[in-house]
Structure 1
């Protein structure tokens, strides 16, 4: 009996030891379970990320028998590229660019006014000299209406030098400032007789030594009576070259020097005619006709005057004997049917 009880006790002890050993082994392996639990969410997240791609792939796949439809464009606002700033000619212009633009303006004006010439009527250097002196502070048209009577009565410097001042004043009265102009034309006539044998000199220094004769008048005579190039800086010329930014000078002599440096000497006389004609007909002092200007694209001052083409056309001026200030067509229209220049302005 005792032996049987001992065997049973030993068996229980052995079973207890086995149970304890199993529990110890279970405890050692139990930490691996949380790792498995942590790996599960990662797998689920990867599956969720892959799911939209599969859905998208399914959506993009075309369905048989149905037309393809382009996906809608993004509605996000797109910023437009900033507009380019248009720089008018003359702003930040290099010397080379200025010369090119100035010469192009002269070429364009030469096509618009191919018949440009002095608008004073004359038959010899003496008549041109006197007429130019009389044109100060008045129009060429008025001078052309006055000089025929003057030259008919006093055709030579000798005749005018010996004239009765009161009679000359009466003839010159329509020109304005007639007393001062009488002194000038009689004084220069006397100087021509006493110093130059009654002939008009063809040198600048001699011409400017005559009473009432400045550089402007001298260059008119030299360029148009003797064919010697010169720049005539009158009020029209001064106004336009400053508007075109050829120079900022205000003194006539400095303007002359600045503009002369932009052109070959051979072009000086014709350049003067082109600029003066344009100033009288289109680029007026008070209200230039910008909308009818053939060189608007080359002008830094475009917009100072009327830019509407139809309104600008009404500002164009065309002078003809007996019709001062008559407004007609643009200068290009002053050509005949064959494309030849029409009679010059100021002609009868």
Structure 2
């Protein structure tokens, strides 16, 4: 990335807040948005002046390359508020690092860290009232970038827009979920873009997930594209398996997203002396563990989902119910994570980032 001098952030405040029109006790995830949004355009080989303006529709050419060739990446992160009214982000620099990794894979320019952090924290301060205190409440933050160059030649765009929008959120899953182990469809393949948060990754999984939902399953746990023998991740979560007292999870690769919640769960487990094995996990060993009773838990971990227990899975026409277990790792690790995020416990790893 070419060295670039930081431009002063331009701010336009909304004339009247929308917050009084929102029922925060009854929120559908990702449907309501805060008063302001951040954006910055990449034109003529350089990022332009970053801006915060009222949340509003935008004009886009029908020929914008994102609409034709899918150059679009995004991130998911959250802001929290403690009982004293202080606002916090969780590991935001990791999100900045990861969106640039995703951008590079799709031949898009990196977004400067100074622009990202200044725009993000200023936006949080301006829309701070949208962050509600209390465990279970949060503000979901969506940074994203897409190609805006009005040209339909099959080539990387020459212009891009980076944006951040925010949406008040409660729990993504309100109860335990049931999953299907994939036997046919694949999320990603070796050498592909599975490790990037590319928009197309999610579009491609909607169809098979829809088929699973018609059968009563909320998510698919994807298997490797070559043999379908190894369990990898779900559509919205990295996956953990507890066999006896050991946690198993797949290693990151060019097929699997380097989840920030995943990394945090592994660290918290190690802090609690819970054995963790980061290795390839086979369908057959999990089915065998479910049969002999050594499979104690399966749970997903992700920004939106936080930690979501899984109550059953199906594979090969067999359904395996997972009974509740005492001393649930999922519930213990979820409480530890939420307590750190909401400033209710010590943050010895420096994950909590106060918005001042």
So what's the TM-score if we normalise by structure 1? 0.23
Which structure is larger by alpha-carbon Rg, 1 or 2? 1
- More helix as a share of residues: 1
Q: Give the structure, 1 or 2, with the largest relative contact order (CA under 8 Å, sep 6 or more).
A: 2
